[in-house]
């Protein structure tokens, strides 16, 4: 006889803690393969307007490999209406000393292939499309406005206690719950992290001049100021500033903030006005000591976090998703245990080198570009000049930014998900 006061126990093959874009994408990939999956999502249901009502006012520059993964999950088609091609990445080095004018270096995607580097999509749109896709997949249970309360080990997998009073058990538990990952801490996996004295200010603007699909990153001593194209005459701003000043800027009224913003943009886009909300995100880096434990895996910012340099963040996280999803789908097709320790060791081994090298590069670039050293300013200018004048080096840098040193996961090559 069942105790009517005991919590409802949900049984799944995989349970994912964290409904960020990586957790949503993993649930979509597994659901497309008919793997019974539970996604525990702290965020509320979808906003009606992806701009005005969205909690997350950032955008993501998705490279083609990431788009291939979303397409395999059945989610990319819903993003296309809001996606803006990124054809040119422009780096601007400001003048210093005897130098009178800024120098700029263009990375033009047309030099290496016929397609853009990728497409810029609002995070709120990605969330809405992925949530809609999950609702179409019978094998996925998506619990919004729900948090993990407890995580306890058992012989058959971790038992997850939820804020809605339910419990869940699965062969594999995946932590996708951000930098401060409660699930990682509950399992006991250690991590190292380091903050930067910087905050990223994010917002959307409308402007009178066309952006021509050029993403412009200007290097200031406090950090980069980046204009990323959106559909029509709109752009997304990522303004990295010293934290104390960033807090003051975010506290200003729209008129004062817009005035400061125009000083940074320097007339590049004509007349400018804000739309939507502003946000501020403290910048830090983090690397987990391990990406797995018994019947447990970490993905995305629960495993690693980078400064916002060269659009590496979500693209790196989606490579975690692609690698883990492929392993789990193959294992499921063999009717084998999805929490198998060998599978998890293979996942960890496949991701650690890629993540470590990207994190080291992002940390180095952030420190190199965000300072007021005359010597480093000159080195930056000489480096950009070399890239500007030597096409093979420029092409190598563009290609290396688009690929992983260990190769591309098959779900990122255009391969369909096989049930």
Domain at 126, CATH number: 3.50.50.60
> Three-state SS for 193?
strand
Q: Looking at the domain assignment, is residue 393 inside a domain? A: no
> Three-state SS for 394?
helix
| pTM for this prediction | 0.89
Of 3-12, 174-183, 359-368, 383-392, the least confident: 383-392
Of 17-26, 49-58, 76-85, 178-187, the least confident: 49-58
Of 2-11, 142-151, 172-181, 394-403, the least confident: 394-403
Return the pLDDT at 45.
77
> Which is higher by pLDDT, 186 or 397?
186
Element (H, E) at 167: strand 167-175
> Three-state SS for 276?
strand
pLDDT per residue as tens digits for the range 318-346? 999 999 999 999 999 999 999 999 999 99
Over residues 49-55, the mean pLDDT reads 60
Of 5-9, 185-189, 350-354, 397-401, the least confident: 397-401
Over residues 389-393, the mean pLDDT reads 53
> Three-state SS for 227?
strand
Q: Tell me how many domains the chain contains.
A: 1
Q: Over 90: is that where the pLDDT of 223 sits?
A: no
Count of all residues that appear for the chain in the document: 419
Over residues 375-396, the mean pLDDT reads 54
Q: Looking at the domain assignment, is residue 161 inside a domain? A: yes
In angstroms, what is the C-alpha Rg of the chain? Answer: 22
Task: State how far the alpha carbon of 138 is from the alpha carbons of 25, 135, 141, 333, 373, in Å.
Answer: 16, 7, 8, 18, 57
Q: Looking at the domain assignment, is residue 228 inside a domain? A: no
**Tokens encoding 338:** 């999805």
Mean pLDDT is highest, among 111-115, 116-120, 357-361, for 116-120
Q: Looking at the domain assignment, is residue 74 inside a domain? A: yes
The span from the CA of 322 to the CA of 318, in Å, is 6
Q: Over 80: is that where the pLDDT of 5 sits?
A: no
Q: Over 70: is that where the pLDDT of 404 sits?
A: no
Contact 257, 198 (CB under 8 A): no
- Conformation bin of residue 247: beta by default, left when phi > 0, alpha when psi is -120 to 50: alpha
pLDDT per residue as tens digits for the range 290-317? 999 999 999 999 999 988 765 677 999 9
Q: Looking at the domain assignment, is residue 136 inside a domain? A: yes
Q: Looking at the domain assignment, is residue 22 inside a domain? A: yes
Domain limits for position 345: 9-84+118-194+285-371
The span from the CA of 142 to the CA of 145, in Å, is 10
Q: Looking at the domain assignment, is residue 135 inside a domain? A: yes
* Helix residue spans in 313-409 (DSSP H): 313-333, 341-369, 374-389, 391-402
Element (H, E) at 316: helix 313-333
As a whole-number percent, the residues of the chain with pLDDT over 70 amount to 83
Over residues 150-156, the mean pLDDT reads 92
Over residues 72-76, the mean pLDDT reads 95
Q: Over 50: is that where the pLDDT of 286 sits?
A: yes
Contact 135, 99 (CB under 8 A): no
Return the pLDDT at 119.
94
**Tokens encoding 249:** 């800027």
Q: Over 70: is that where the pLDDT of 96 sits?
A: no
Return the pLDDT at 2.
43
Q: Looking at the domain assignment, is residue 347 inside a domain? A: yes
Contact 296, 173 (CB under 8 A): yes
Return the pLDDT at 400.
61
Q: How confident is the model at residue 218 (pLDDT cuts 50, 70, 90)?
A: confident
């Amino acid at each position: 006889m069942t105790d009517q006061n005991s919590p409802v126990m949900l049984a799944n093959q995989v349970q994912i803690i964290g409904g960020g874009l990586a957790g949503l994408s993993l649930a979509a990939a597994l659901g497309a393969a008919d793997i019974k999956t539970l996604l525990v999502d702290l965020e509320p249901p979808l906003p009606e307007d992806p701009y005005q009502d969205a909690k997350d006012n950032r955008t993501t520059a998705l490279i083609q490999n990431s788009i291939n993964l979303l397409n395999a999950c059945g989610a990319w088609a819903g993003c296309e209406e809001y996606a803006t091609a990124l054809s040119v990445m422009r780096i601007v080095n400001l003048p210093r000393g005897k130098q009178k004018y800024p120098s700029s270096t263009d990375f033009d995607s047309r030099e290496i292939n016929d397609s853009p580097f990728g497409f810029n999509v609002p995070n709120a749109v990605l969330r809405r499309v992925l949530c809609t896709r999950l609702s179409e997949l019978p094998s996925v249970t998506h619990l919004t406005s729900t948090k993990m309360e407890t995580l306890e080990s058992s012989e058959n997998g971790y038992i997850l206690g939820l804020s809605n009073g339910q419990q869940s058990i699965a062969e594999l538990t995946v932590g996708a719950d951000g930098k401060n990952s409660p699930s990682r801490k509950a399992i006991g996996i250690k991590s190292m992290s380091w903050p930067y004295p910087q905050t990223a200010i994010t917002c959307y603007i409308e402007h009178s001049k066309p952006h021509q699909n050029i993403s412009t990153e200007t290097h200031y001593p406090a950090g980069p100021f980046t204009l990323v194209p959106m559909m029509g005459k709109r752009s997304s701003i990522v303004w990295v500033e010293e934290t104390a000043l960033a807090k003051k800027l975010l506290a200003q009224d729209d008129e004062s903030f817009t005035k400061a913003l125009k000083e940074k943009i320097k007339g590049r886009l004509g007349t400018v006005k804000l739309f939507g909300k502003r946000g501020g995100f403290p910048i830090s880096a983090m690397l987990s000591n391990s990406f797995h434990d018994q019947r447990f895996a970490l993905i995305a910012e629960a495993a690693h976090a980078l400064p916002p340099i060269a659009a590496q963040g979500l693209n790196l996280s989606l490579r975690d998703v692609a690698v883990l999803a492929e392993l789990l789908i193959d294992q499921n097709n063999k009717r084998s245990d999805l929490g198998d320790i060998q599978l998890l060791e293979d996942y960890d081994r496949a991701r650690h080198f890629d993540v470590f090298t990207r994190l080291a590069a992002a940390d180095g670039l952030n420190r190199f570009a965000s300072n007021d050293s005359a010597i480093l300013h000159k080195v930056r200018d000489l480096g950009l000049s070399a890239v500007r004048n030597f096409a093979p080096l420029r092409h190598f840098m563009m290609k290396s930014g688009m690929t992983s040193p260990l190769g591309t996961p098959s779900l990122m090559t255009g391969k369909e998900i096989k049930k």
